Amino acid sequence: MNTVTSTTVLPDLTDPAFWAREDSHLILRELRRRAPLWRLESAAEGPLWCVLSYALAGEVLGDAARFSSERGSLLGTGRDRAPAGAGKMMALTDPPRHRELRNLVLPFFTKRKAAELSGRVADLTRQVVHGALEAAETDFVRDISTAVPLTVMCDLLGVPDEDRDHVVRMCDRAFLGDTPAERAEAHQQLLPYLFALGLRRRADPRDDIISSLVTHEVDGRRLPLDEALLNCDNILVGGVQTVRHTSTMAMLALTRHPDAWRAMREDGYDPELGVEELLRWTSVGLHVLRTARTDTELAGQRIRAGDRVVVWTPAANRDEAEFEDPGRLRLDRTPNRHLAFGWGPHYCIGAPLARVELASLFGALAEVAEGVEVLRPPVPNRSLINFGLDSLVVRLHARETAGRPRPV
């Protein structure tokens, strides 16, 4: 059903169940037409200003002088408690501190570096896809969407070959554990490992992210080891989770839009445009949080110093004022200035690599699979940070021309 009753009250956007509703975008569209900024009294998070339009989202995300990240960049810590790592992690700092930290690892995430990694990514992806092709059924989340970004992040971080299996097992549990307690326990095991590796790299640095963070100086001093490793952990989580959730939700979308799947497999398809549209359509990073530094005005509303402002990315990425026919999945959409990777100083540092990984995955799938069949109902997660699926069990139906994987 493509209609929604008249909406004059903002639903609780901090409840993940809202984002699983089939009519969530219809509700947001009507609310956005009434006003781009709404006040929400969240039982868990307290009072929030909710940004629903594209233009207003860009204004908030692009102005670190008015809207700070240091009190948190994501909901989930409650009403008044600053998150762990505030002022220490890239995600929880403002310029110029943010820029100093970002510059330490930026060489590992440039477009040039992503292009250098494209061959490695393609080989890994082919092996994963061909492995799934030979199975009677496969969980897209566990068996396809997570494997390549996790391996590539281990490469970039500098995890030694002899530790890979151990780290992958910890990360699998931390990202894919059956319960929140299991995921939290695995994450607590991962941090001591990173700390020990940081000590080794401080004594014997290599060309990797961990070495860069534990040996380089900012303002004439080395980063404290705990700050360096908090940033490593944040990079690892972001580098895996964004691609994992985007690729899974994109695959589900393609099974529900067979015309888009056919377009992806036709001559003339542009994978760069296709990836951008899948990023816009899925918008798995549900929100970005900022805190007003001083009294200011936003969309005609008085915002007080200390007020929290939340940009809801899926709403901004379906704004009719920016995107023509935004409720249609168009893999040739251009222009497509979506906000799936954020905007402004905190624009996702890993965006070039994520684009390469997503293009490689869907290129490999289109090359070998005639179709992707969903075998059981998808299982949505209950996350307010990355909206995605805990499970998507599928069968890949091979094309007659599908070849064999090439060795890595």
Mean pLDDT to the nearest integer, 388-407 = 78
2 has a pLDDT exceeding 50: no
Q: Which has the minimum average pLDDT: 81-90, 124-133, 275-284, 350-359? A: 81-90
Inter-CA distances, 174 with 73, 74, 182, 381, Å: 21, 19, 7, 14
- What is the tens place of the pLDDT at every residue in 126-174? 999 999 999 999 999 999 999 999 999 999 999 999 998 888 888 888 7
> What is the band of 183 on the pLDDT scale with cuts at 50, 70, 90?
confident
Amino acid 83: pLDDT = 76
Angle at 163 between CA 161 and CA 165, to 5 degrees: 95
Answer whether residue 368 shows pLDDT above 70.
Answer: yes
Task: Indicate if the pLDDT at residue 6 is higher than 70.
Answer: no
- Element of type H or E holding 371: strand 369-374
- How far is residue 92's CA from residue 193's CA, in Å, rounded to a whole number? 23
pLDDT at position 78 over 70: no
Residues 323-326: contacts with CB within 8 Å, 24+ apart? 323/54, 323/280
**Structure confidence at residue 1 (pLDDT):** 34
Q: Between residues 181 and 140, which one has the greater pLDDT? A: 140
pLDDT at position 90? 94
The answer, yes or no, to whether residue 26 has pLDDT greater than 90, is yes
Predicted local distance difference test score (pLDDT) of residue 79? 67
- For 87: left if phi > 0, alpha if psi spans -120 to 50, otherwise beta; the answer is left
User: What's the farthest any 2 CA atoms get from each other in the chain?
Assistant: 64
What's the rounded Cα separation, in Å, for the pair 111 and 43? 42
Structure tokens at 238: 């972001």
**DSSP-derived 3-state class of residue 111:** helix
What pLDDT does residue 4 have?
Answer: 39
Helices (H), 40-96: 54-61
Question: For residue 84, what pLDDT is reported?
Answer: 75
Q: Which amino acid is at 314?
A: P
Burial class of residue 78 (count of CB atoms within 10 Å of its CB; 0-12, 13-18, 19+): exposed
Residue ranges of domains in the chain, CATH in brackets: 16-398 (1.10.630.10)
Task: Please report which residue ranges of 160-312 form alpha helices under DSSP H.
Answer: 164-176, 180-203, 209-215, 225-256, 258-264, 271-282
Q: Which of 66-75, 171-180, 225-234 has the lowest mean pLDDT?
A: 171-180
User: pLDDT, tens digit, for every residue of 274-302?
Assistant: 999 999 999 999 999 999 999 999 999 99
Report the candidate in 218, 265, 232, 248 with the shortest Cα–Cα distance to residue 365: 265
pLDDT at residue 71 greater than cutoff 60 = yes
- Helix 97-105 and helix 225-256, axial crossing angle in degrees, nearest 10: 70
d(CA 170, CA 175) in angstroms, rounded, equals: 9
Residue 146 CA to residue 235 CA, distance in Å, equals: 15
Query: Alpha helices of 62-110 — where are they, by DSSP H?
Result: 97-105
Rounded average pLDDT over 75-90: 79
User: How many other CB atoms are there within 10 angstroms of residue 191's CB atom?
Assistant: 16
